[in-house]
Amino acid sequence: MEAFIVSVISIATAEMGDRTQLLALVLAARYRKPWPIVAGVFCATLSNHGVAGLIGALLGGRLRPALLDAAVGVSMIAMALWTLKPDTIDQQTTATTNAGAFIATLIAFFVAEIGDKTQIATVALAAAYPNLIAVIGGTTCGMLIANVPVIFLGNAFAQRLPLRAIHYTASALFAVLGVIFIVRAARQWS
């Protein structure tokens, strides 16, 4: 249960103001069909984070527990710093085809998530926790928690979010998780 809760909270807060959240806003404004967009976000996130989770689980299974905890701790602190840098959306990400709201969202979200901080956080969480299903389920739920309101409420909702405070909160959360994992690693080495 811890893996699921940490995954949901980490990804939901990290996603606030992220480029994929901005992408959800653009897709919602363009297609005005929220349910196919939500389905596209869900499928793209599940597949992208599924691959990231598998990579994390493989890495986690090959490293000694102390080294793994140290690596996860350092990556979480790096995520804390990365979260402080606000994302922007570029023209390449917003370019979509006429294939419909679902296909456009599926492709755009999958590609936009490659190398994104939420994907990297999923790798770290899957390496840290043995319950891969809980991690992938949690990261997918976190993405939906952050993106579904934007899809349905659009600009009015997005402009009212205190993004700076959310970025600082997400950064603090990642930093706390990083310190916890580094302390666990230090205890195992001593």
Q: What is the pLDDT of residues 81-123, one digit of tens each?
A: 876 776 554 444 444 444 589 998 999 899 888 878 899 899 9
Higher pLDDT residue, 155 or 31? 31
Q: What percent of the chain has pLDDT over 90?
A: 42
Give the total number of structural domains in the chain.
Answer: 1
DSSP string, the chain: -HHHHHHHHHHHHHHTT-HHHHHHHHHHHHH--HHHHHHHHHHHHHHHHHHHHHHHHHHHHHS-HHHHHHHHHHHHHHHHHHHTS-----HHHH---SS-HHHHHHHHHHHHHTT-HHHHHHHHHHHH-S-HHHHHHHHHHHHHHHHHHHHHHHHHHHTTS-HHHHHHHHHHHHHHHHHHHHHHHHHHH-
**pTM greater than the 0.85 cutoff:** no
Q: Which domain holds residue 113?
A: 2-189
